[in-house]
Amino acid sequence: MTRVRVLSIAVIATLALFSGRLVYVQAYQGETLAAQALEGRMNTTTIPAVRGEITDADGNVLATSVTRYDVFADQVLIADWTHTVDGARVGGPVEAARLLAPIFGEPEAELAAKLSGTSKYKMLERDMAPETWDAIKELGISGMFAEQAPRRSYPAGTTGGNLIGFVGAEGTGMAGLEYALDEQLAGVAGSRTYERGLGGHAIPTGVQSSKAAVPGTDVRTTLRMDLQWKAQAAIDAQVAKMGASGGFVVVMDVKTGEIYALADSGAMDPNKPTGFGGSKAISTIFDPGSTAKIVTMAAALETGVATPTSQYTVPYNYTTSNGQTFKDSHEHGDEPWTLTGILAESSNTGTVMVGEQIPKQVRHDYLTKFGFGEKTGIELAGEERGLLADADAWDGRTQYTVLFGQGMAATALQATNVFATMANGGVRNTPHLVAGTTGADGVYTPSPLADPVQAVSPETAGTVLKMMESAVLEGTGENAEIAGYRVAGKTGTAQIPGADGKLDAYLASFVGVAPVDDPRLAVGVFIENPTATEYAKFGGVSAAPVFSDVTSFALQQLGVVPSGSTPELYPTTW
Protein backbone atom coordinates (compact mmCIF):
# COMPACT_ATOMS: atom_id res chain seq x y z
CA MET A 1 0.00 0.00 0.00
CA THR A 2 2.84 2.29 0.88
CA ARG A 3 4.46 1.57 -2.46
CA VAL A 4 1.28 2.42 -4.38
CA ARG A 5 0.92 5.65 -2.41
CA VAL A 6 4.51 6.67 -3.22
CA LEU A 7 4.02 5.94 -6.92
CA SER A 8 0.76 7.88 -6.94
CA ILE A 9 2.39 10.85 -5.34
CA ALA A 10 5.25 10.69 -7.85
CA VAL A 11 2.88 10.57 -10.80
CA ILE A 12 0.81 13.42 -9.41
CA ALA A 13 3.97 15.48 -8.85
CA THR A 14 5.19 14.81 -12.40
CA LEU A 15 1.84 15.74 -13.87
CA ALA A 16 1.78 18.87 -11.78
CA LEU A 17 5.28 19.77 -13.02
CA PHE A 18 4.29 19.32 -16.66
CA SER A 19 1.06 21.20 -16.11
CA GLY A 20 2.91 24.06 -14.53
CA ARG A 21 5.39 24.13 -17.37
CA LEU A 22 2.55 24.09 -19.89
CA VAL A 23 0.80 26.94 -18.10
CA TYR A 24 4.08 28.89 -18.01
CA VAL A 25 4.75 28.36 -21.70
CA GLN A 26 1.23 29.27 -22.70
CA ALA A 27 0.90 32.21 -20.34
CA TYR A 28 4.32 33.74 -20.61
CA GLN A 29 6.09 32.39 -23.73
CA GLY A 30 3.20 31.66 -26.04
CA GLU A 31 3.51 34.77 -28.17
CA THR A 32 7.30 34.48 -28.42
CA LEU A 33 7.20 30.86 -29.49
CA ALA A 34 4.38 31.49 -31.96
CA ALA A 35 6.39 34.32 -33.48
CA GLN A 36 9.43 32.09 -33.74
CA ALA A 37 7.38 29.36 -35.39
CA LEU A 38 5.90 31.87 -37.84
CA GLU A 39 9.35 33.20 -38.63
CA GLY A 40 10.47 29.70 -39.47
CA ARG A 41 7.59 29.34 -41.91
CA MET A 42 8.24 32.65 -43.65
CA ASN A 43 10.10 32.81 -46.95
CA THR A 44 11.18 35.82 -49.03
CA THR A 45 11.63 35.78 -52.79
CA THR A 46 12.91 38.50 -55.08
CA ILE A 47 10.60 40.18 -57.57
CA PRO A 48 12.85 41.13 -60.50
CA ALA A 49 12.49 44.64 -61.87
CA VAL A 50 11.54 44.97 -65.52
CA ARG A 51 14.66 46.18 -67.32
CA GLY A 52 14.27 49.40 -69.30
CA GLU A 53 13.98 49.34 -73.07
CA ILE A 54 16.55 50.69 -75.50
CA THR A 55 15.16 52.31 -78.65
CA ASP A 56 16.50 54.16 -81.65
CA ALA A 57 15.78 57.82 -82.33
CA ASP A 58 12.40 56.97 -83.88
CA GLY A 59 11.26 54.74 -81.02
CA ASN A 60 12.02 51.41 -82.72
CA VAL A 61 12.82 48.88 -80.00
CA LEU A 62 16.42 47.63 -79.97
CA ALA A 63 16.39 45.88 -76.58
CA THR A 64 13.41 44.84 -74.49
CA SER A 65 12.50 42.43 -71.71
CA VAL A 66 10.05 39.64 -72.48
CA THR A 67 8.21 37.54 -69.89
CA ARG A 68 9.38 33.95 -69.67
CA TYR A 69 8.88 31.20 -67.10
CA ASP A 70 11.11 28.56 -65.54
CA VAL A 71 8.77 25.58 -65.01
CA PHE A 72 9.36 22.96 -62.32
CA ALA A 73 7.49 20.08 -60.69
CA ASP A 74 6.84 19.04 -57.07
CA GLN A 75 7.14 15.28 -57.56
CA VAL A 76 5.52 14.54 -54.17
CA LEU A 77 2.37 16.48 -55.03
CA ILE A 78 2.18 14.98 -58.51
CA ALA A 79 2.34 11.47 -57.04
CA ASP A 80 -0.87 12.23 -55.06
CA TRP A 81 -2.65 14.12 -57.86
CA THR A 82 -5.73 12.57 -59.50
CA HIS A 83 -8.55 13.65 -61.76
CA THR A 84 -11.60 12.02 -63.28
CA VAL A 85 -11.52 10.52 -66.78
CA ASP A 86 -14.65 8.76 -68.06
CA GLY A 87 -15.96 8.43 -64.53
CA ALA A 88 -12.73 6.91 -63.16
CA ARG A 89 -10.09 8.51 -60.95
CA VAL A 90 -6.65 8.42 -62.55
CA GLY A 91 -3.48 10.38 -61.83
CA GLY A 92 0.13 10.31 -60.80
CA PRO A 93 3.21 10.91 -62.94
CA VAL A 94 2.13 8.69 -65.82
CA GLU A 95 -1.23 10.43 -66.27
CA ALA A 96 0.36 13.88 -65.84
CA ALA A 97 2.96 13.00 -68.48
CA ARG A 98 0.20 11.93 -70.91
CA LEU A 99 -1.38 15.38 -70.65
CA LEU A 100 1.87 17.35 -70.62
CA ALA A 101 3.86 15.55 -73.31
CA PRO A 102 2.24 17.36 -76.28
CA ILE A 103 2.99 20.72 -74.63
CA PHE A 104 6.58 19.92 -73.73
CA GLY A 105 7.18 18.09 -77.00
CA GLU A 106 8.68 15.09 -75.18
CA PRO A 107 7.89 11.36 -75.18
CA GLU A 108 5.46 10.43 -72.38
CA ALA A 109 7.85 7.89 -70.84
CA GLU A 110 10.71 10.37 -70.57
CA LEU A 111 8.48 13.04 -69.08
CA ALA A 112 6.91 10.57 -66.61
CA ALA A 113 10.42 9.72 -65.37
CA LYS A 114 11.10 13.40 -64.72
CA LEU A 115 7.82 13.72 -62.81
CA SER A 116 8.52 10.70 -60.59
CA GLY A 117 10.48 10.90 -57.36
CA THR A 118 10.61 12.79 -54.09
CA SER A 119 12.03 16.16 -55.18
CA LYS A 120 10.06 19.24 -54.26
CA TYR A 121 11.79 21.19 -57.05
CA LYS A 122 12.46 19.32 -60.29
CA MET A 123 13.29 21.78 -63.09
CA LEU A 124 11.54 20.81 -66.31
CA GLU A 125 12.08 23.70 -68.71
CA ARG A 126 13.56 27.20 -68.67
CA ASP A 127 12.59 30.18 -70.77
CA MET A 128 9.05 29.00 -71.45
CA ALA A 129 6.72 31.36 -73.33
CA PRO A 130 3.71 32.73 -71.37
CA GLU A 131 1.15 31.05 -73.66
CA THR A 132 2.80 27.69 -73.09
CA TRP A 133 2.69 28.09 -69.32
CA ASP A 134 -0.97 29.13 -69.60
CA ALA A 135 -1.72 25.87 -71.40
CA ILE A 136 -0.08 23.91 -68.57
CA LYS A 137 -2.04 25.78 -65.91
CA GLU A 138 -5.32 24.99 -67.65
CA LEU A 139 -4.69 21.28 -67.08
CA GLY A 140 -5.01 21.79 -63.31
CA ILE A 141 -2.22 19.38 -62.40
CA SER A 142 -1.28 19.78 -58.73
CA GLY A 143 2.46 20.05 -58.39
CA MET A 144 3.25 22.06 -61.52
CA PHE A 145 4.77 25.44 -60.71
CA ALA A 146 6.63 28.26 -62.50
CA GLU A 147 8.84 31.18 -61.60
CA GLN A 148 8.71 34.29 -63.71
CA ALA A 149 12.08 34.87 -65.36
CA PRO A 150 12.36 37.96 -67.61
CA ARG A 151 14.61 37.50 -70.63
CA ARG A 152 16.23 40.10 -72.87
CA SER A 153 15.30 40.23 -76.55
CA TYR A 154 16.98 42.19 -79.35
CA PRO A 155 14.55 42.59 -82.27
CA ALA A 156 17.12 44.22 -84.60
CA GLY A 157 19.56 41.31 -84.31
CA THR A 158 22.99 42.18 -85.70
CA THR A 159 21.95 45.71 -86.67
CA GLY A 160 23.59 47.82 -84.00
CA GLY A 161 24.48 44.67 -82.06
CA ASN A 162 27.97 45.81 -81.16
CA LEU A 163 26.56 49.04 -79.74
CA ILE A 164 23.57 47.66 -77.86
CA GLY A 165 25.52 44.81 -76.25
CA PHE A 166 23.78 42.11 -74.24
CA VAL A 167 22.70 40.99 -70.77
CA GLY A 168 24.28 38.01 -69.04
CA ALA A 169 22.64 35.10 -67.23
CA GLU A 170 22.51 37.07 -63.98
CA GLY A 171 20.53 39.86 -65.65
CA THR A 172 23.33 42.43 -65.69
CA GLY A 173 24.69 44.22 -68.74
CA MET A 174 27.81 42.61 -70.15
CA ALA A 175 28.66 44.81 -73.14
CA GLY A 176 27.67 47.90 -75.13
CA LEU A 177 24.98 50.23 -73.83
CA GLU A 178 23.56 47.38 -71.76
CA TYR A 179 26.81 47.46 -69.77
CA ALA A 180 27.53 51.19 -69.83
CA LEU A 181 24.00 52.11 -68.67
CA ASP A 182 23.32 49.02 -66.55
CA GLU A 183 22.48 50.91 -63.37
CA GLN A 184 19.82 53.01 -65.10
CA LEU A 185 18.37 50.16 -67.15
CA ALA A 186 18.26 47.63 -64.30
CA GLY A 187 15.68 49.27 -62.03
CA VAL A 188 15.24 48.20 -58.39
CA ALA A 189 14.13 44.68 -57.50
CA GLY A 190 11.12 44.16 -55.22
CA SER A 191 10.35 41.31 -52.82
CA ARG A 192 7.51 38.98 -51.73
CA THR A 193 7.39 37.46 -48.27
CA TYR A 194 4.93 34.64 -47.57
CA GLU A 195 4.09 31.88 -45.08
CA ARG A 196 4.83 28.43 -46.43
CA GLY A 197 3.50 25.02 -45.50
CA LEU A 198 5.24 21.65 -45.15
CA GLY A 199 5.53 21.29 -48.93
CA GLY A 200 7.39 24.57 -49.18
CA HIS A 201 4.55 26.29 -51.03
CA ALA A 202 2.67 29.41 -49.99
CA ILE A 203 -0.25 28.99 -47.57
CA PRO A 204 -3.15 30.78 -49.31
CA THR A 205 -4.54 32.10 -46.02
CA GLY A 206 -1.14 32.66 -44.46
CA VAL A 207 0.78 35.85 -43.78
CA GLN A 208 1.90 37.65 -46.95
CA SER A 209 3.52 40.97 -47.80
CA SER A 210 5.26 42.43 -50.84
CA LYS A 211 7.34 45.36 -52.00
CA ALA A 212 6.83 46.32 -55.63
CA ALA A 213 9.80 46.41 -57.99
CA VAL A 214 10.71 49.72 -59.65
CA PRO A 215 11.04 49.35 -63.43
CA GLY A 216 14.30 50.36 -65.10
CA THR A 217 14.78 53.53 -67.09
CA ASP A 218 14.06 53.46 -70.82
CA VAL A 219 16.90 54.76 -73.00
CA ARG A 220 16.37 56.49 -76.34
CA THR A 221 19.46 56.49 -78.53
CA THR A 222 20.38 58.81 -81.39
CA LEU A 223 20.75 55.84 -83.74
CA ARG A 224 18.69 55.65 -86.90
CA MET A 225 18.37 51.98 -87.63
CA ASP A 226 17.87 52.36 -91.37
CA LEU A 227 21.21 54.16 -91.57
CA GLN A 228 22.83 51.69 -89.17
CA TRP A 229 21.65 48.81 -91.33
CA LYS A 230 22.90 50.49 -94.51
CA ALA A 231 26.30 51.31 -93.00
CA GLN A 232 26.78 47.72 -91.78
CA ALA A 233 25.72 46.23 -95.11
CA ALA A 234 28.03 48.57 -97.03
CA ILE A 235 31.09 47.97 -94.85
CA ASP A 236 30.54 44.20 -94.81
CA ALA A 237 30.37 44.15 -98.61
CA GLN A 238 33.46 46.33 -99.07
CA VAL A 239 35.53 44.38 -96.55
CA ALA A 240 34.78 41.22 -98.52
CA LYS A 241 35.43 42.89 -101.89
CA MET A 242 38.74 44.40 -100.81
CA GLY A 243 40.03 41.33 -98.99
CA ALA A 244 40.23 43.38 -95.79
CA SER A 245 40.37 42.16 -92.21
CA GLY A 246 37.65 44.52 -91.00
CA GLY A 247 36.14 47.96 -91.24
CA PHE A 248 33.97 50.54 -89.51
CA VAL A 249 31.77 53.51 -90.41
CA VAL A 250 30.80 56.60 -88.41
CA VAL A 251 27.78 58.72 -89.38
CA MET A 252 27.13 61.81 -87.25
CA ASP A 253 25.20 65.06 -87.30
CA VAL A 254 27.68 67.94 -87.53
CA LYS A 255 25.42 70.40 -85.75
CA THR A 256 24.51 68.30 -82.70
CA GLY A 257 27.13 65.57 -82.38
CA GLU A 258 24.42 62.90 -82.53
CA ILE A 259 25.63 59.52 -83.76
CA TYR A 260 23.27 58.21 -86.42
CA ALA A 261 25.28 55.07 -87.15
CA LEU A 262 28.39 53.43 -85.73
CA ALA A 263 28.92 50.33 -87.82
CA ASP A 264 31.43 47.50 -87.53
CA SER A 265 31.91 44.74 -90.07
CA GLY A 266 30.90 41.29 -88.84
CA ALA A 267 28.61 42.68 -86.13
CA MET A 268 27.41 40.45 -83.30
CA ASP A 269 23.81 39.31 -82.73
CA PRO A 270 23.05 40.08 -79.05
CA ASN A 271 20.45 37.30 -79.06
CA LYS A 272 23.32 34.84 -79.58
CA PRO A 273 26.41 36.50 -78.10
CA THR A 274 29.23 34.16 -79.03
CA GLY A 275 31.87 36.83 -78.62
CA PHE A 276 32.01 40.58 -78.30
CA GLY A 277 34.79 42.95 -79.30
CA GLY A 278 32.87 46.19 -78.88
CA SER A 279 32.94 48.91 -81.51
CA LYS A 280 36.30 49.28 -83.21
CA ALA A 281 35.31 52.82 -84.13
CA ILE A 282 36.03 53.82 -80.53
CA SER A 283 38.49 51.18 -79.37
CA THR A 284 40.95 50.78 -82.25
CA ILE A 285 43.61 53.48 -82.52
CA PHE A 286 45.78 54.20 -85.54
CA ASP A 287 47.79 56.98 -87.12
CA PRO A 288 45.07 59.24 -88.54
CA GLY A 289 47.34 59.88 -91.50
CA SER A 290 46.29 62.39 -94.11
CA THR A 291 42.90 63.04 -92.51
CA ALA A 292 44.84 65.01 -89.86
CA LYS A 293 46.26 67.35 -92.51
CA ILE A 294 43.18 69.52 -92.29
CA VAL A 295 44.21 70.48 -88.75
CA THR A 296 47.57 71.65 -90.07
CA MET A 297 45.79 73.65 -92.78
CA ALA A 298 43.47 75.21 -90.21
CA ALA A 299 46.40 76.14 -87.99
CA ALA A 300 48.24 77.71 -90.92
CA LEU A 301 45.21 79.79 -91.84
CA GLU A 302 44.37 80.76 -88.27
CA THR A 303 47.94 81.88 -87.45
CA GLY A 304 48.39 83.76 -90.71
CA VAL A 305 51.14 81.46 -91.99
CA ALA A 306 49.32 80.88 -95.28
CA THR A 307 46.17 81.51 -97.29
CA PRO A 308 44.29 79.02 -99.49
CA THR A 309 46.11 80.37 -102.52
CA SER A 310 49.61 80.64 -101.02
CA GLN A 311 52.12 79.30 -103.56
CA TYR A 312 54.62 76.51 -102.94
CA THR A 313 57.03 74.59 -105.13
CA VAL A 314 56.60 71.11 -103.73
CA PRO A 315 59.26 68.46 -104.37
CA TYR A 316 58.88 64.69 -104.08
CA ASN A 317 61.53 64.68 -101.33
CA TYR A 318 61.87 67.44 -98.76
CA THR A 319 64.49 67.84 -96.02
CA THR A 320 63.86 70.05 -93.01
CA SER A 321 66.40 72.32 -91.32
CA ASN A 322 67.22 69.61 -88.75
CA GLY A 323 67.97 67.04 -91.44
CA GLN A 324 64.69 65.09 -91.48
CA THR A 325 63.74 63.92 -94.98
CA PHE A 326 60.15 63.24 -96.09
CA LYS A 327 58.63 62.07 -99.35
CA ASP A 328 55.21 61.78 -100.93
CA SER A 329 53.34 58.53 -101.64
CA HIS A 330 53.73 59.00 -105.40
CA GLU A 331 56.92 60.12 -107.11
CA HIS A 332 56.63 63.47 -108.90
CA GLY A 333 58.68 66.43 -110.00
CA ASP A 334 58.65 69.88 -108.40
CA GLU A 335 54.98 70.85 -108.42
CA PRO A 336 53.60 74.43 -108.37
CA TRP A 337 50.84 73.80 -105.82
CA THR A 338 48.86 76.22 -103.73
CA LEU A 339 47.97 75.44 -100.12
CA THR A 340 44.69 74.06 -101.48
CA GLY A 341 46.60 71.97 -104.00
CA ILE A 342 48.79 70.50 -101.27
CA LEU A 343 45.67 69.32 -99.44
CA ALA A 344 43.94 68.12 -102.61
CA GLU A 345 46.98 66.07 -103.65
CA SER A 346 47.53 64.88 -100.05
CA SER A 347 51.20 65.87 -100.19
CA ASN A 348 53.27 65.03 -97.12
CA THR A 349 56.22 67.12 -98.24
CA GLY A 350 54.04 70.13 -98.94
CA THR A 351 52.31 69.77 -95.58
CA VAL A 352 55.68 69.75 -93.82
CA MET A 353 56.78 72.84 -95.76
CA VAL A 354 53.66 74.64 -94.51
CA GLY A 355 53.67 73.25 -90.98
CA GLU A 356 57.31 73.95 -90.16
CA GLN A 357 56.42 77.64 -90.15
CA ILE A 358 54.06 77.02 -87.21
CA PRO A 359 55.71 76.92 -83.74
CA LYS A 360 55.87 73.42 -82.28
CA GLN A 361 53.65 74.15 -79.27
CA VAL A 362 51.07 75.82 -81.49
CA ARG A 363 50.89 72.69 -83.65
CA HIS A 364 50.15 70.70 -80.49
CA ASP A 365 47.56 73.23 -79.29
CA TYR A 366 45.52 72.90 -82.47
CA LEU A 367 45.58 69.12 -82.33
CA THR A 368 44.17 69.22 -78.80
CA LYS A 369 41.57 71.82 -79.79
CA PHE A 370 40.21 69.30 -82.26
CA GLY A 371 40.08 66.56 -79.62
CA PHE A 372 43.16 64.47 -80.33
CA GLY A 373 44.66 62.83 -77.26
CA GLU A 374 41.43 62.76 -75.22
CA LYS A 375 38.30 60.63 -75.13
CA THR A 376 35.29 62.02 -76.93
CA GLY A 377 33.03 61.12 -73.99
CA ILE A 378 30.67 58.86 -75.94
CA GLU A 379 28.47 56.70 -73.68
CA LEU A 380 30.27 53.42 -74.33
CA ALA A 381 32.83 51.55 -72.28
CA GLY A 382 36.20 50.77 -73.81
CA GLU A 383 36.78 54.07 -75.59
CA GLU A 384 40.46 54.82 -76.22
CA ARG A 385 41.84 58.34 -75.89
CA GLY A 386 44.42 57.89 -78.60
CA LEU A 387 48.03 59.00 -78.33
CA LEU A 388 49.38 62.53 -78.45
CA ALA A 389 52.60 63.26 -76.59
CA ASP A 390 53.37 66.71 -75.19
CA ALA A 391 55.09 68.99 -77.66
CA ASP A 392 58.28 69.09 -75.60
CA ALA A 393 58.40 65.27 -75.78
CA TRP A 394 58.39 65.20 -79.60
CA ASP A 395 61.70 64.19 -81.11
CA GLY A 396 63.24 65.83 -84.14
CA ARG A 397 61.11 63.80 -86.55
CA THR A 398 57.80 63.52 -84.70
CA GLN A 399 57.45 67.31 -84.55
CA TYR A 400 56.94 67.11 -88.32
CA THR A 401 55.15 63.78 -88.77
CA VAL A 402 52.24 64.93 -86.60
CA LEU A 403 51.58 67.55 -89.29
CA PHE A 404 50.37 64.75 -91.60
CA GLY A 405 48.91 62.48 -88.92
CA GLN A 406 51.77 60.15 -88.01
CA GLY A 407 53.58 59.84 -84.68
CA MET A 408 50.18 60.09 -82.98
CA ALA A 409 47.10 57.90 -82.82
CA ALA A 410 43.35 58.40 -82.86
CA THR A 411 40.09 56.47 -83.10
CA ALA A 412 37.75 56.58 -86.07
CA LEU A 413 35.27 58.57 -84.00
CA GLN A 414 37.90 61.16 -83.07
CA ALA A 415 38.97 61.52 -86.70
CA THR A 416 35.39 61.89 -87.92
CA ASN A 417 34.62 64.46 -85.23
CA VAL A 418 37.46 66.63 -86.55
CA PHE A 419 35.57 66.94 -89.84
CA ALA A 420 32.26 67.49 -88.03
CA THR A 421 33.93 70.33 -86.12
CA MET A 422 35.16 71.93 -89.31
CA ALA A 423 31.68 71.61 -90.85
CA ASN A 424 30.08 73.15 -87.74
CA GLY A 425 31.80 76.49 -88.05
CA GLY A 426 34.81 75.36 -86.03
CA VAL A 427 32.70 74.32 -83.02
CA ARG A 428 33.49 70.89 -81.55
CA ASN A 429 30.55 69.04 -80.02
CA THR A 430 30.66 65.90 -77.92
CA PRO A 431 29.65 62.87 -79.99
CA HIS A 432 26.84 61.07 -78.20
CA LEU A 433 24.65 57.98 -78.58
CA VAL A 434 22.04 58.65 -75.88
CA ALA A 435 19.36 61.20 -76.71
CA GLY A 436 17.59 60.91 -73.36
CA THR A 437 15.87 58.68 -70.83
CA THR A 438 12.33 58.01 -69.60
CA GLY A 439 11.95 57.08 -65.94
CA ALA A 440 9.31 55.01 -64.18
CA ASP A 441 7.25 58.20 -63.85
CA GLY A 442 6.98 58.43 -67.64
CA VAL A 443 8.90 61.71 -67.84
CA TYR A 444 11.43 62.04 -70.67
CA THR A 445 14.70 63.76 -69.79
CA PRO A 446 17.12 64.82 -72.55
CA SER A 447 20.73 63.86 -71.93
CA PRO A 448 22.91 66.71 -70.64
CA LEU A 449 25.65 67.65 -73.08
CA ALA A 450 29.11 69.00 -72.48
CA ASP A 451 29.81 72.58 -73.45
CA PRO A 452 30.99 72.93 -77.07
CA VAL A 453 34.56 74.02 -77.83
CA GLN A 454 35.43 76.68 -80.41
CA ALA A 455 38.43 75.04 -82.07
CA VAL A 456 38.93 77.59 -84.86
CA SER A 457 37.05 80.60 -86.15
CA PRO A 458 34.03 80.11 -88.42
CA GLU A 459 35.96 81.84 -91.21
CA THR A 460 38.86 79.41 -90.97
CA ALA A 461 36.53 76.40 -90.75
CA GLY A 462 34.63 77.56 -93.84
CA THR A 463 37.85 78.06 -95.77
CA VAL A 464 39.16 74.58 -94.93
CA LEU A 465 35.80 73.07 -95.91
CA LYS A 466 36.04 74.79 -99.28
CA MET A 467 39.63 73.54 -99.67
CA MET A 468 38.48 69.99 -98.91
CA GLU A 469 35.93 70.26 -101.70
CA SER A 470 38.85 70.50 -104.12
CA ALA A 471 40.23 67.26 -102.64
CA VAL A 472 37.05 65.54 -103.85
CA LEU A 473 36.59 67.23 -107.20
CA GLU A 474 40.22 67.68 -108.25
CA GLY A 475 42.22 65.43 -105.94
CA THR A 476 42.39 61.95 -104.45
CA GLY A 477 38.76 61.73 -103.30
CA GLU A 478 36.88 61.72 -106.58
CA ASN A 479 35.23 58.37 -105.76
CA ALA A 480 33.42 60.08 -102.88
CA GLU A 481 31.31 62.30 -105.14
CA ILE A 482 27.52 62.18 -104.71
CA ALA A 483 25.20 63.18 -107.53
CA GLY A 484 23.33 66.38 -106.64
CA TYR A 485 25.26 67.14 -103.48
CA ARG A 486 28.47 69.06 -102.86
CA VAL A 487 30.98 66.99 -100.90
CA ALA A 488 34.16 67.93 -99.02
CA GLY A 489 36.53 65.36 -97.62
CA LYS A 490 39.96 63.84 -97.32
CA THR A 491 41.47 60.47 -98.10
CA GLY A 492 43.88 58.77 -95.74
CA THR A 493 46.30 55.83 -95.78
CA ALA A 494 47.85 54.92 -92.44
CA GLN A 495 50.28 52.17 -91.54
CA ILE A 496 49.02 49.70 -88.93
CA PRO A 497 50.47 46.50 -87.43
CA GLY A 498 49.96 43.40 -89.54
CA ALA A 499 49.54 39.81 -88.34
CA ASP A 500 53.27 39.65 -87.60
CA GLY A 501 53.15 42.79 -85.44
CA LYS A 502 55.18 44.81 -87.92
CA LEU A 503 53.96 48.01 -89.56
CA ASP A 504 53.38 46.27 -92.87
CA ALA A 505 49.60 46.65 -93.14
CA TYR A 506 47.44 49.66 -93.96
CA LEU A 507 44.22 51.34 -92.89
CA ALA A 508 42.49 53.08 -95.79
CA SER A 509 40.10 55.88 -94.90
CA PHE A 510 37.93 58.62 -96.22
CA VAL A 511 36.22 61.17 -94.02
CA GLY A 512 33.94 63.76 -95.51
CA VAL A 513 31.10 66.22 -95.09
CA ALA A 514 27.89 66.76 -97.06
CA PRO A 515 26.36 68.91 -98.31
CA VAL A 516 29.07 71.59 -98.29
CA ASP A 517 26.66 74.49 -98.81
CA ASP A 518 24.66 73.56 -95.68
CA PRO A 519 26.61 70.86 -93.80
CA ARG A 520 24.50 68.17 -92.17
CA LEU A 521 26.56 64.99 -91.98
CA ALA A 522 30.12 63.96 -91.27
CA VAL A 523 30.83 60.39 -92.36
CA GLY A 524 34.03 58.43 -91.79
CA VAL A 525 34.87 55.13 -93.48
CA PHE A 526 37.84 53.06 -92.32
CA ILE A 527 38.99 49.75 -93.84
CA GLU A 528 41.63 47.59 -92.17
CA ASN A 529 44.34 46.06 -94.33
CA PRO A 530 42.63 45.89 -97.74
CA THR A 531 44.67 43.53 -99.94
CA ALA A 532 42.56 42.84 -103.04
CA THR A 533 44.70 44.99 -105.34
CA GLU A 534 47.94 46.93 -105.31
CA TYR A 535 46.00 50.16 -104.84
CA ALA A 536 43.41 48.90 -102.32
CA LYS A 537 45.42 50.42 -99.46
CA PHE A 538 44.57 53.94 -100.63
CA GLY A 539 41.55 55.62 -99.06
CA GLY A 540 40.37 56.95 -102.39
CA VAL A 541 40.11 53.39 -103.72
CA SER A 542 38.72 51.38 -100.79
CA ALA A 543 36.97 53.86 -98.48
CA ALA A 544 35.69 56.70 -100.69
CA PRO A 545 33.14 54.54 -102.59
CA VAL A 546 31.59 53.41 -99.29
CA PHE A 547 31.38 57.04 -98.18
CA SER A 548 29.49 57.91 -101.36
CA ASP A 549 27.12 54.96 -100.97
CA VAL A 550 26.33 55.43 -97.28
CA THR A 551 26.17 59.24 -97.33
CA SER A 552 23.92 59.31 -100.40
CA PHE A 553 21.51 56.93 -98.65
CA ALA A 554 21.63 58.97 -95.42
CA LEU A 555 20.94 62.29 -97.15
CA GLN A 556 17.89 60.84 -98.87
CA GLN A 557 16.58 59.12 -95.73
CA LEU A 558 16.95 62.35 -93.75
CA GLY A 559 15.23 64.37 -96.46
CA VAL A 560 18.20 66.67 -97.03
CA VAL A 561 17.60 68.72 -100.16
CA PRO A 562 20.26 68.63 -102.89
CA SER A 563 22.83 71.39 -103.05
CA GLY A 564 21.47 74.61 -104.50
CA SER A 565 24.82 76.12 -105.45
CA THR A 566 27.86 75.26 -107.53
CA PRO A 567 31.37 75.06 -106.07
CA GLU A 568 33.66 78.07 -106.23
CA LEU A 569 36.97 76.32 -105.84
CA TYR A 570 40.31 77.77 -104.88
CA PRO A 571 43.03 77.21 -107.47
CA THR A 572 45.21 74.16 -106.76
CA THR A 573 48.17 75.25 -108.91
CA TRP A 574 49.87 78.48 -109.86
The sign of the CA dihedral 174, 175, 178, 182 is positive
345 with 456, same domain: the answer is yes
The predicted pLDDT at position 485 comes to: 98
The predicted pLDDT at position 41 comes to: 66
The predicted pLDDT at position 6 comes to: 67
Q: Which CATH number characterizes residue 489's domain?
A: 3.40.710.10
Domain termination residue (choose one: 126, 149, 172): 149
Strands 505-514 and 488-496: antiparallel
Assess if residue 386 is contained within a domain: yes
pLDDT band at 474 (very low <50, low <70, confident <90, very high): confident
Assess if residue 52 is contained within a domain: no
Assess if residue 539 is contained within a domain: yes
* pLDDT digit string, tens, across residues 435-461: 999 998 999 999 998 899 999 999 999
pLDDT band at 209 (very low <50, low <70, confident <90, very high): confident
The sign of the CA dihedral 286, 290, 294, 300 is positive
Write out the residue range of the structural domain in which residue 137 sits.
Answer: 68-75+118-149
454 with 353, same domain: the answer is yes
141 with 259, same domain: the answer is no
pLDDT band at 26 (very low <50, low <70, confident <90, very high): low
265 with 138, same domain: the answer is no
Question: CA of 302: how far to CAs of 201, 312, 362, 478, in Å?
Answer: 77, 18, 11, 27
* pLDDT digit string, tens, across residues 344-389: 999 999 999 999 999 999 999 999 999 999 999 999 999 999 999 9
* pLDDT digit string, tens, across residues 136-155: 999 999 999 998 888 899 99
258 with 391, same domain: the answer is yes
401 with 540, same domain: the answer is yes
Q: What is the DSSP string of 341-356?
A: HHHHTT-HHHHHHHHT
128 with 264, same domain: the answer is no
- Residues 401, 407: contact at Cβ < 8 Å? yes
CA pair distance 331, 404, nearest whole angstrom: 17
Decide which of 40 and 339 is more confident: 339
Domain termination residue (choose one: 149, 168, 189): 149
Assess if residue 39 is contained within a domain: no
pLDDT band at 296 (very low <50, low <70, confident <90, very high): very high
Among 14-28, 90-104, 396-410, 527-541, where is mean pLDDT lowest?
14-28
513 with 388, same domain: the answer is yes
CB atoms within 10 A of CB 150: 16
Assess if residue 49 is contained within a domain: no
The domain total for the chain is: 2
231 with 125, same domain: the answer is no
Assess if residue 375 is contained within a domain: yes
Among 319-328, 460-469, 487-496, 500-509, where is mean pLDDT lowest?
500-509
Assess if residue 550 is contained within a domain: yes
